Amino acid sequence: MSIEQVRSHFGFSKMPFGKDLSPSALHRHGGHLEAVARIGFLVAEAAIGVVTGEVGSGKTVAARAAMAELEPSRHTLIYLPNPAIGARGIYAEIVGRLGGAPRYFKSALIAQATELLGIEAAERGRRVVIVCDEAHLLDPSQLEELRLLTNAEMDSASPFALVLLGQPSLRSRLRLGSFAALDQRVTLRYAIPPMTPEETASYVAHHVKLGGRTDTLFSDDALASIHQAGRGLPRAVNNLARSALVAAYANHSAIVDEKAARQAVTEVDAE
């Protein structure tokens, strides 16, 4: 059995529940919209914010959607996908992204980053937006680096926005005494909630429609099982919905019913 067979069995023009959606094709559920709006606010205010959510809750997708709404000529985006870029990493990334050749010594590198951030704002009239993804993985020295950077920013006329995205542990981590100086600069915290059962149903229907079908394909009880097992988290719902389509195909069924959904849940649990 191939995905192509499943696709053609259900008459999809394209197999749904893929992950490469353009910003305009995203599902607009509450948590997603709220996260996008808050990131937009942080950018406009040149503030520091923390957006948390469970694995697969849509943090990266929301940040990308918020970035896609920004006027490209007025913003410079620095997306740091993973803190594992090392100790010099954050500053070196910023300097490189702003067109500089990172200086060797850290003190010089910090000054260089600050200077380039200033030039970007004052001379080019561009707001720098730093998005630090997987920020729950930042180690203490990296958090300290971010704090130093925001300190420098306070003293100069080079405001930038800093968005920290991470798993829920990020919030408690920042609350630890040693990070108080950074935590106090955080003006906004948002925890992306899971989708409600209604949102999951609408999310699945949205993907099915993107696949080229407008009729009902998932039964209500199948949707309820998928919502419950996936806990309303978009990535989990995608995986379960895709497995349920495969199970329904194997059952020679024209719709995804409770049985197919249950098979998908068992299969995903077993992984």
Ligand X SMILES: Nc1ncnc2c1ncn2[C@@H]1O[C@H](COP(=O)(O)OP(=O)(O)OP(=O)(O)O)[C@@H](O)[C@H]1O
| One residue of 60, 156, 219, 263 binding ligand X per CB under 6 A | 60
User: Among 37-45, 53-61, 173-181, 240-248, which window interacts with Mg ion (CB under 5 A)?
Assistant: 53-61
CB 56 within 8 A of CB 230: no
DSSP β-bridge partners for residue 49: 163, 188
DSSP string covering 82-142, please? -GGG-TTHHHHHHHHHTT----SSHHHHHHHHHHHHHHHHHTT--EEEEEETTGGG--HHH
Task: Establish if 194 lies at the interface with ligand X (CB under 6 A).
Answer: no
Instruction: For residue 164, give the 3-state DSSP assignment.
Output: strand
Task: Establish if 32 lies at the interface with ligand X (CB under 6 A).
Answer: yes
Task: Establish if 167 lies at the interface with Mg ion (CB under 5 A).
Answer: no
- How far is CA 92 from each of CA 76, 79, 102, 151, 225, rounded to the nearest angstrom? 16, 13, 5, 18, 47
Instruction: For residue 68, give the 3-state DSSP assignment.
Output: helix
* Interface positions, 1-20, toward ligand X (CB under 6 A): 19
Task: Establish if 26 lies at the interface with ligand X (CB under 6 A).
Answer: yes
Residue 80 Cβ, how far from Mg ion at the closest point, in Å? 12
Task: Establish if 142 lies at the interface with ligand X (CB under 6 A).
Answer: no
| One residue of 42, 50, 51, 56 binding ligand X per CB under 6 A | 56
Run of H or E including 198: helix 197-210
C-beta of 83 vs 118, nearer to Mg ion? 83
User: Among 21-29, 41-49, 144-152, 176-184, which window interacts with ligand X (CB under 6 A)?
Assistant: 21-29
Task: Establish if 60 lies at the interface with Mg ion (CB under 5 A).
Answer: yes
